[in-house]
Chain A
Amino acid sequence: ETGVTQTPRHLVMGMTNKKSLKCEQHLGHNAMYWYKQSAKKPLELMFVYNFKEQTENNSVPSRFSPECPNSSHLFLHLHTLQPEDSALYLCASSQAASGGSSTDTQYFGPGTRLTVL
């Protein structure tokens, strides 16, 4: 069992809905990540937060809005999504997301399976 939890585990929403995904890590880490995993495609990094500050936005559409109120919690707010946004959304954490030769292993949560109708 990992120290990273995600809720809800499954979510079905219409294109006009607003919903939020939650991630919590109990590992004392300072960096948190959102990834998207679509069928038949590699995991795609979406956002990186380091010490509560966003350090990476991988050209993610504005209908995805991340929030990191503290180093232990990460949210992904969803608004007016499209059917192609249906995917498994994974959260991860690590000690830090420093530049250079970081060797910190990322610990992943179980993911939220999102279906957009």
Chain B
Amino acid sequence: KQEVTQIPAALSVPEGENLVLNCSFTDSAIYNLQWFRQDPGKGLTSLLLIQSSQREQTSGRLNASLDKSSGRSTLYIAASQPGDSATYLCAVPTGGGNKLTFGTGTQLKVEL
């Protein structure tokens, strides 16, 4: 059974700092990995999707990497801003189709 773990569970950083969020998964036979953002009381917003054939994907200040063999992905956020404060979730497809298994998330707070 696929298990997805995210470390740390919570993180507080000063504005402007670069930071890394971690995601690990137990079954490396994945087609892709997605990173989502969830703001309090709201749904999820897809940030990046990395195909299994890719090693990284970039969008603005966000860079996600994928190492299938080691079962790990990282989300790098450059020059963090208070607006980046949210919970970040990673997810992998499981069992075919588009069923996603999610991690428990990292709650990020960027302080002024």
A residues whose Cβ falls under 8 Å from a Cβ of B: 2, 4, 6, 31, 40-43, 45, 48, 50, 55-56, 90, 92, 94, 96-111, 113
Q: In the assembled complex, which residues on chain A have CB atoms less than 8 Å from the CB atom of B45?
A: 2, 108
A interface: dominant SS = loop
* Contacting residue for B43 out of A4, A101, A104, CB 8 A: A4
Q: In the assembled complex, which residues on chain B have CB atoms less than 8 Å from the CB atom of A40?
A: 104
Q: In the assembled complex, which residues on chain A have CB atoms less than 8 Å from the CB atom of B46?
A: 105-107
Contact check, B41 vs A102: say whether CB atoms are below 8 A apart: no
Q: In the assembled complex, which residues on chain B have CB atoms less than 8 Å from the CB atom of A56?
A: 97, 99
* Contacting residue for A103 out of B32, B42, B91, B99, CB 8 A: B32
* Binary contact track B31-66/A, C-beta < 8 Å → 1, others 0: 110101000011111100101100000000000000
Q: Could you list some 7 contacts between A and B, CB below 8 A?
A: A41-B104, A43-B89, A48-B98, A90-B44, A97-B99, A105-B34, A108-B43
CB distance from A39 to the nearest CB of B (A): 11
Contact check, B97 vs A42: say whether CB atoms are below 8 A apart: no
CB distance from B112 to the nearest CB of A (A): 26
CB distance from A108 to the nearest CB of B (A): 4
B interface: dominant SS = strand
Q: A97-B99, A101-B32 are in contact. List 9 more A-B contacts (CB 8 A).
A: A43-B100, A56-B97, A90-B44, A96-B98, A98-B98, A105-B34, A107-B46, A110-B42, A111-B43
- B31, closest chain A residue (CB): A101
Contact check, B103 vs A97: say whether CB atoms are below 8 A apart: no
B residues whose Cβ falls under 8 Å from a Cβ of A: 4, 31-32, 34, 36, 41-46, 49, 51-52, 89, 91, 93, 96-105
Contact check, B101 vs A42: say whether CB atoms are below 8 A apart: yes
Contact check, A99 vs B96: say whether CB atoms are below 8 A apart: yes
Q: What is the bound-complex CA distance between A111 and B41, given in angstroms?
A: 8
Q: What is the bound-complex CA distance between A62 and B93, given in angstroms?
A: 25
- A105, closest chain B residue (CB): B46
Contact check, A105 vs B49: say whether CB atoms are below 8 A apart: yes
